[in-house]
Amino acid sequence: MKDAASLPPPPGLSGGIWGTTTYVGPLTFACAVASIQTIIGWIIILLFCPVDKMDVYKVEDKLYTADGKLYKAASTHNFAVSKSEHVVGGVPPGCSPKNTGSWGTTQHVGPLTWAVAICALPTVIGSILILLFMPLDNDDVYKEGDALYLADGTKFKAASDKNFDIRRSAHTTSGTPEGLSGGSWGTTTYVGPFTLALALAALPTVIGAIVILLFCPLDQEEVYNVDEKLYLPSGKLFKAASKNNFFIRKSEHTVTGAPKGLKGGEWGTTTHVGPLTFAFAFVALWSGVGWIIILLLLPLDSEEVYKVDNKLYLPDGELYKAVSKHNFRKKNSKHVRAERTDVEKADGEEEEEVPTTLEDGSKALEC
């Protein structure tokens, strides 16, 4: 993880901090539509389970998106420093500055788990299985000893250290899993807790559950591809997915900061109708019109894309035809940084050197 001081603020802003906010957006609405049959479930989801997330920049109790626009969809009460890249010193406040711990991800029962469990209420047993065995919410946490800390330094009691794992490329200390080299970072999809949870919620439709399990693997994992074998950031061989599902899907997985052969553009996020959208549409089949609303108005799948001359490209350099440029927007804090590095290099300017040591002389985490 790079020092978050290297993450520039949105255009025209300064003096704030990066963080994440939850809000009622497409994914929250899809959960609500899929739970209409439960009568009260959709109300609970809309009021208490906002599951959409976005990186925002907080200045004087106001939230701004990565493109510098004032963000009115969420209140500052939902703002939290919840990502490792948002931490300025490389470790959460109050933890040892000597990097004696390690960053990783933990799973716990939170808004997303509750929302999907509510969708599965008609199956009765499905909701119980989801709440007990399928924690779907993820958080970046810092593990020091047996204790887990959130990015803002708060001790995290919602999850056990047994759920802790190094799941992101940004959490590796040398840029590659321990003992590996000569590969490439990317993302793979597989049938995991999220896929199984939505399949349970779709059980009343019968065919929906089968289609989700066979054709809509929704869980994603960052993996390191070496000689057509996939490895987790922790260095373990990943057997849950085939190399055929491997793609370079994120801006930080590109070697030079831009897709191969491209420059002078900007990174952002686009939404489209993909496996996640279809899965929720299957869950909502019994609601009559719900699946139509989801497919037409609530594209839930998102991809990081590189925009050049009003054309969108995937991180591996392929032209992306699944969506229009109208769905493009900056959603992640790292897209502000990524845009700068490409453009400056294209103009022949030198890259700004990122500090690799902290004030006390200890080495900062790098990706």
**Domain residue ranges in the chain:** 179-247, 255-344
For 298, the token pair is 């609530």
In order of 74, 78, 111, 309, the CA distances from 219 in angstroms are: 26, 25, 17, 32
- Residue range 189-206: average pLDDT? 95
Choice between 367 and 200, residue whose per-residue pLDDT is larger: 200
Helices (H), the chain: 26-34, 41-48, 111-119, 125-133, 193-201, 207-215, 275-283, 290-297, 334-346
Asked if 4 and 86 touch (Cβ cutoff 8 Å), the reply is yes
Range list of H helices, 35-76: 41-48
pLDDT at 23 over 80: yes
CA triplet 202, 208, 214: central angle to 5 degrees?
115
Question: What whole-number percentage of the chain has pLDDT above 90?
Answer: 72
3-state secondary structure of 7: coil
What pLDDT shows up at residue 97?
80
190-to-47, 166, 220 alpha-carbon distances in Å = 31, 17, 6
Q: Which residues contact 192 (CB under 8 A, 6 or more apart)?
A: 217, 218, 219, 221, 240
For the chain, counts of helices (H) and of strands (E): 9, 12
Confidence of residue 338 (pLDDT cuts 50, 70, 90): low
pTM of the predicted structure, to 2 decimals: 0.86
Give yes or no for a contact between 35 and 119, defined as CB atoms under 8 angstroms apart: yes
Closest CA to 243 of 195, 177, 191, 188: 188
Give the separation between CA 38 and CA 228, rounded to whole angstroms. 45
How far apart, in whole angstroms, are the C-alpha atoms of residue 322 and residue 111?
Answer: 29
Determine the average pLDDT of the residues in 288-310: 94
Which whole number is the average pLDDT over 73-95?
Answer: 89
Average pLDDT of the chain, as a whole number: 88
Which amino acid is present at 272? H
At 21, is the secondary structure helix, strand, or coil? Answer: strand
Mean pLDDT for the stretch of residues 348-352: 41
Split at pLDDT 50, 70, 90, the class of 98 is confident
The answer to whether residue 358 scores a pLDDT higher than 70 is no
Q: Is pLDDT at 364 greater than 80 in this prediction? A: no
- Report the pLDDT averaged over residues 199-216: 95
- Our CA angle for 45, 51, 56, nearest 5°, is 135
CA distance linking residue 254 with residue 358, whole number of Å: 26
pLDDT of residue 1: 45
Predicted pLDDT at 352:
38
Structure confidence by residue, pLDDT tens digits, 142-181: 999 889 999 999 999 887 888 899 999 999 988 999 999 9
**Which whole number is the average pLDDT over 63-90?**
90
Higher pLDDT, 96 or 119: 119
Provide the pLDDT for residue 89: 82
**Structure confidence by residue, pLDDT tens digits, 234-249:** 999 998 888 888 999 9
Which pLDDT band, with edges at 50, 70 and 90, does 288 fall under?
confident
Quote the pLDDT of residue 73: 83
- Asked if residue 68 has pLDDT above 50, the reply is yes
Contacts for 243-247: CB closer than 8 Å, 24+ residues apart: 245/188, 245/189, 245/190, 245/217, 246/186, 246/187, 246/188, 247/186, 247/187, 247/188, 247/314, 247/316
What residues have CB less than 8 Å from 268, skipping those under 6 apart? 304, 305, 306, 307, 328, 329, 330, 331, 335
What tens digit of pLDDT does each residue of 43-61 get? 999 999 999 999 999 999 9
Contact 104, 73 (CB under 8 A): no
State which H helix or E strand residue 301 sits in.
Answer: strand 301-308
Mean pLDDT of 104-122: 96
The answer to whether residue 346 scores a pLDDT higher than 90 is no
**How buried is residue 192: exposed, middle or buried, by Cβ count under 10 Å (0-12/13-18/19+)?**
middle
119/74: higher pLDDT: 119
The set of residues, in sequence order, having a beta carbon less than 8 Å from that of 193 and lying 6+ positions away, is 107, 133, 134, 135, 136, 219
Strands (E) located in 86-231: 102-108, 137-144, 147-149, 184-190, 219-226, 229-231
